[in-house]
Amino acid sequence: MKEYSFTLKFNFPDDRIDPDRYIDRLYEAGCDDALIGIGKQGCIALDFIRSASSAFDAVSSAIVDVKKVIPDASLIEATPDFVGLTDTAKILGCTRQNIRNLIFNGDTRSPSPVYEGTPSIWHLAEILTWLREDKTYSIDDSLLEVAIVNMEFNVARQWRKIAPDLQANICALVC
């Protein structure tokens, strides 16, 4: 068993619901390995350190545990996933400038941002995979694994927003 650190953010079905009423029930339902944040009205965030045989098992079991207590809650985001240069540098323990130089200075195989702007945003999994495979950086296996799984959950969540009758056509164009 490995330990995986990740955060799950959920919306309540009704933003008038008092999230305090769920805290004890979440703990009893298996979320005793999470810090629970209730700062934003209509939302709840759970910061997990969960032991499991895989990152998928850790994240999916955590989602199931939350859904046992709040069945109509919808996943907003699984993190770590979307990152900027500063986030990436903090995760890797280096400077923002170091990450910027790696990504922007002459390597055509560097990952493309999900959003190119100020600031640009990447999937952490793509940066970590690139750093490990192309730059021979030592990347923590658990971090990479959870970043990949979270990216997949977030992409799947977004994919649901595409009209079903367009999904095949869109996939044919971009896949």
Give the CATH number, domain containing residue 20: 3.30.70.3400
Backbone φ and ψ for 37, nearest 5 degrees, come out as -110, 135
Same domain, 19 and 74: yes
pTM: 0.90
Q: Write out the residue range of the structural domain in which residue 19 sits.
A: 2-79
Helix (H, G, I), strand (E, B) or coil at 146: helix
Residue 159 lies in a domain: no
Helix (H, G, I), strand (E, B) or coil at 87: helix
Same domain, 125 and 136: yes
Residue 88 lies in a domain: yes
59 burial via Cβ count (<10 Å: 0-12, 13-18, 19+): buried
Mean local confidence (pLDDT), 106-135? 92
Which of 3, 2, 44 has its CA nearest to residue 21?
44
Whole-number pLDDT of residue 6:
98
CA distances from 137 to 56, 79, 92, 120 (A): 24, 22, 10, 22
Whole-number pLDDT of residue 45:
96
Residue 115 lies in a domain: yes
Quick one: pLDDT band at residue 14, thresholds 50, 70, 90? confident
In the predicted model, is pLDDT for residue 66 greater than 80? yes
Same domain, 92 and 26: no
Measured between alpha carbons, how far is 112 from 128 in angstroms, rounded to an integer?
A: 13
Same domain, 99 and 71: no
